[in-house]
Amino acid sequence: MAKTALITGGTRGIGFGIAEKLADERWDLVVNGVRPEAAVAEALERLRSRGVRVAYAPGDISSAGGRSDIVKAARAFAGGPVNLLVNNAGVGPKARLDLLETTEESFDHVVDTNLKGTFFLTQAVARDMIAARQADAGFAATIVTISSISATVVSVNRGEYCIAKAGLSMLSQLFSARLGAEGIPVYEIRPGVIKSDMTAGVAEKYDRLIAQGLCVQSRWGQPEDVGRAVASIARGDFPYSTGQVIMVDGGLTIPRL
């Protein structure tokens, strides 16, 4: 029986890299985004070309209505709860401002999506997963949250982003503890500097830093690097590691002299 994954923010960047690798593993996909379906049609077809079923679930996770729409669309496509939730959707601050200059508007924009939205979407999907497992102990369910090295690495010109990502790390710990007895493992993946639309505006900066030795592995990370990590978790390669953090950062966070 085919398994279904729900990937938030799955039409581009890291989310699309995850979707591609899961499609290669024969997962059916519910891909979430905020753009009209016509705007993401090419991405959806690229996934379908891998021979899996793909549905688009538009919706903004920062709103209760958006989350409800996403969950309903996923249920309808899967014929019940999804087997895998990948929390990937996120936004950066509209302007990178010093910690002493950032605004409540920017803080709310980032935290409402990256942290609050992810928390309550996870809550809704976890409830469905628990019910499914109570009805059928063989129902496989897993949750993966994509955070960032910004959970622990300070950037004083985007403090709201760092705070949200640090919150996601605790979110993963909380849900892993709560869902352990339910047989639902929870994982966190912390990407480093990944080539995507979110980093396009600071590409020159990171080109320079990487050339100067920022990472042990001297290259940009690619969305497919994160995708491979999610696919490995989805295969069940880490059955006794719930609550753990998987770093996908090219060694950037290794303390070095």
pLDDT tens-digit map of 75-87 = 999 999 999 999 9
Residue 248: partners with Cβ closer than 8 Å, 6 or more residues away: 189, 190, 191, 192, 194, 221, 225, 226, 229
Is the predicted pLDDT of residue 2 greater than 90, yes or no?
Answer: no
Question: In the prediction, which pLDDT does 202 show?
Answer: 85
| The pLDDT value given to residue 151 | 98
Q: Is pLDDT at 89 greater than 80 in this prediction? A: yes
Total residue length of the chain? 257
Directed axis angle between helix 118-135 and helix 159-179, to 10°? 20
Residue 25, burial from CB neighbour count under 10 angstroms (0-12, 13-18, 19+): middle
pLDDT digits (tens, 9 = 90+) for 25-68: 999 999 999 999 999 999 999 999 999 999 999 999 999 999 99
Contact indicator for 194, 221 with CB cutoff of 8 Å = yes
Residue range 189-203: mean pLDDT, rounded: 90
Burial class (CB in 10 A: 0-12, 13-18, 19+), 23: buried
Contacts of 10 (CB under 8 A, 6+ apart): 16, 18, 19, 29, 31, 32, 33, 86, 88
Give the Cα separation of 37 and 105 in Å (integer).
28
Query: Using one digit for the tens of pLDDT, what is the confidence trace for 128-174?
Result: 999 999 999 999 999 999 999 999 999 999 999 999 999 999 999 99
Per-residue pLDDT at 95 exceeds 80: yes
Q: How far is CA 141 from CA 48, 55, 81, 174, in A?
A: 23, 19, 9, 17
Residues 6+ apart with CB under 8 A from 66: 59, 60, 117
The pTM score is 0.96
Question: Which domains, from first to last, does the chain contain?
Answer: 4-247 (3.40.50.720)
Structure tokens at 66: 């958006």
Q: What percent of the chain has pLDDT over 90?
A: 95
> Looking at the predicted structure, is the pLDDT value of residue 1 above 80?
no
Q: Which of 4, 1, 8 is nearest to 168 (CA)?
A: 8
Contacts of 172 (CB under 8 A, 6+ apart): 145, 147, 186, 187, 188, 243, 245
Residue 161 falls in the annotated catalytic set = yes
Cα separations (Å) of 88 from 13, 18, 100, 213, 230? 10, 9, 28, 28, 11
Catalytic residue among 56, 161, 187, 206: 161
Three-state secondary-structure class, residue 92: coil
Where do the H-state alpha helices sit in the chain?
Answer: 13-24, 41-48, 64-78, 104-111, 118-135, 159-179, 203-211, 223-235
Q: Residue 257: what residue type?
A: L
Chain-wide mean pLDDT for the chain?
Answer: 97
